[in-house]
């Protein structure tokens, strides 16, 4: 996973907080963190869209599959009063997530679990599932969606944001996806739907957001270049070069027409 440079040096968020005058012992708010803790496209606007589709009520339980450093989980718990279980594979991301959640005073409403969704979700079935740009890392879609279905109460919704393959890929594109994005064997949109149906999901909508995400990706590369000196001063050359390399590799895939962006709701 660490070959994907978004996941190197995840402690860099502490540099951003220090630049805002917030040290390790300071209490935090979700608003302090959201510019830095959303590891998907379009920040909290995308999480708000997910909430519209999930139809959750305060006190209900949501599973976040691949929760990163906990950005979406904290935002949802704070905004809605929903109890979130944040399942994250990588221990260093999970540790940063726990620390930030505790410092926001949200430890009672966000439960962090370090684990692999392919081994099943923790606890009882949930009132909803959210998964933002995680599933592209998991080629075994039958096992993934079987685990997701088992974790979801009947009739409730799973909201996914994910990549699909737009067309047959060149060898260079396949290699770039495998190494720099840790994404092997992406399905097409039609294959994605078929996997969900095979796992027992019956109401499935797939929205193609390729144009939007292509634009987001281009903007991210541009912003990284424009702010490079300040970013290097904050995080150091190696972290910045790694992020740039990742942003540029993904952007080449978007601008070359290799990827489809999907917003999926499945019940």
Asked if 186 and 163 touch (Cβ cutoff 8 Å), the reply is: yes
Binding mask 132-171 for ligand SAM (x = CB under 6 A): xxx--xx---------------------------------
Nearer to ligand SAM, 34 or 232 (CB): 34
Measured in residues, the chain has a length of 267
Q: Which stretch binds ligand SAM (CB under 6 A): 53-61, 129-137, 249-257, 258-266?
A: 129-137
Q: Which stretch binds ligand SAM (CB under 6 A): 61-69, 211-219, 221-229, 246-254?
A: 61-69
Looking only at residues 63 through 102 of this chain, which bind ligand SAM when binding is defined by CB under 6 A? 66-68, 71-72, 87-90, 93
DSSP state of 26: S
> Cβ(1)–Cβ(68) under 8 Å?
no
**Cα(186)–Cα(191) distance, rounded to whole angstroms?**
9
117 near ligand SAM, judged by CB under 6 A? yes
Query: What does 102-117 look like in DSSP terms, one character per residue?
Result: HHTT-TTTEEEEE--G
**Beta-sheet pairing, 126-132 with 152-165:** parallel
Which C-beta is closer to ligand SAM: that of 19 or that of 184? 184
> Tokens 């770039």 appear where?
176
CA–CA gap between residue 189 and residue 229 (Å, rounded): 39
Residue from 40, 165, 180, 235 binding ligand SAM (CB under 6 A)? 40
CB of 116 to ligand SAM, least distance (A): 4
Q: Which residues bind ligand SAM (CB under 6 A)?
A: 1, 38-40, 66-68, 71-72, 87-90, 93, 116-118, 132-134, 137-138
């Amino acid at each position: 996973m660490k070959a994907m440079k978004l996941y190197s040096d995840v402690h860099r968020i502490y540099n951003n907080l220090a630049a805002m005058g917030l040290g390790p012992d300071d209490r935090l708010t979700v608003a302090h963190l959201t510019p830095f803790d959303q590891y998907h496209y379009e920040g909290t606007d995308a999480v708000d869209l997910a909430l519209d589709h999930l139809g959750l009520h305060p006190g209900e339980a949501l599973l976040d599959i691949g929760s990163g450093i906990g950005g979406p989980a904290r935002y949802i718990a704070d905004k809605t009063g929903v109890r979130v279980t944040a399942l994250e594979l990588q221990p260093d991301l999970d540790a940063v997530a726990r620390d930030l959640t505790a410092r926001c005073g949200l430890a009672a409403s966000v439960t962090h679990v370090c684990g692999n969704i392919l081994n099943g979700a923790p606890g009882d079935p949930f009132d909803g599932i959210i998964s933002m740009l995680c599933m592209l890392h998991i080629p075994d879609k039958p096992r993934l969606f079987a685990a997701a279905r088992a974790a979801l109460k009947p009739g409730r919704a799973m909201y996914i944001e994910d990549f699909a393959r737009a067309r047959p890929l060149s060898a260079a594109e396949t290699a770039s996806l495998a190494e720099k994005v840790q994404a092997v064997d992406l399905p097409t949109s039609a294959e994605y739907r078929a996997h969900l149906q095979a796992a027992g999901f019956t109401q499935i909508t797939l929205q193609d957001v390729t144009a939007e995400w292509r634009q987001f990706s281009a903007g991210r590369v541009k912003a990284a270049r424009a702010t490079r000196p300040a970013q290097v001063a904050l995080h150091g050359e190696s972290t910045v070069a790694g992020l740039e390399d990742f942003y540029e590799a993904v952007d080449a895939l978007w601008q070359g027409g290799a990827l489809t962006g999907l917003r999926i709701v499945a019940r």
